[in-house]
Amino acid sequence: MPVKRAMLEVVRHVESIVDGLSEKQINTMIEAIENAERIFMMGAGRSGMASRAFAMRLVQLGLTAYVIGESVTPAMTEKDLLIAVSGSGETKSIVSAAKIAKGVGSKVLAVTSYPRSRLGRIANIRVEIKGRTKIDIEKDHLKHQIIGTHSTFTPLGTLFEDTVMIFFDGIIAKLMSDLKKDEREMRNRHATLE
């Protein structure tokens, strides 16, 4: 598949799901971030990359954010918010960590395609981001075997991960307005050394 066509396929997917995003879920997420003492981000693989990219911007906004697995991440308390990202909502390490975080009283927010997944059920707050996830993939493969359709060129969690990345950037835009921060101020908080 040509590069440009695949790019437009991703763009169409993101576009198509924006409208369906729940305003209520978005507002609850914004509120949870603004009320948390500290925000902890967690995601495996490429979802982890989107989580870290978001954490960087939160820090530039002057909020206190950490990424699970990095060296300086402290103990969580009941004033903290854990944002756990998993397309399927069944990633083992994520589910198990979300359970522990909830156990110490932290609020858990799940960003997932499956609000009824194990992660979704543990979470206090759920934000549903549609994407073609590993579960869809199994269905697609089955269908492929039966009726011979072509398989995808945006493999595995690609659509979910790219949508989450852009969704997080949308959240940043809203936080910038709410917190009255502008780009210049964020730039001043940008890591000196990278």
Q: Which of residues 157-186 bind a second copy (CB under 8 A)?
A: 158, 161-162, 165-167, 169-174, 176-177, 182-184, 186
Q: How far is the CB of 88 from a second copy (least distance, A)?
A: 12
What 8-state DSSP symbol labels residue 108? E
Residue placing its CB nearer to a second copy in the complex, 39 or 120: 39
Distance, in Å, from the CA atom of 131 to the CA atom of 186, rounded to the nearest integer, reads 30
Active-site annotation holds for 161: yes
| Single residue of 24, 147, 148, 188 touching a second copy by CB under 8 A | 188
Q: Taking the CA of residue 129 as centre, how many other CA atoms within 13 Å lie in the half-sphere pointing to its CB?
A: 31
DSSP class of 184: H
- Token pair for 119: 């992660």
Selected binder of a second copy within 33, 36, 42, 108 (CB under 8 A): 42
116 token code pair: 């009824």
Write out the binding residues for a second copy, residues 121-140 only, by CB under 8 A.
134, 137
Measured between alpha carbons, how far is 143 from 76 in angstroms, rounded to an integer? 44
Q: Which is nearer to a second copy, 50 or 119 (CB)?
A: 50
**Catalytic hit among 15, 128, 138, 161:** 161
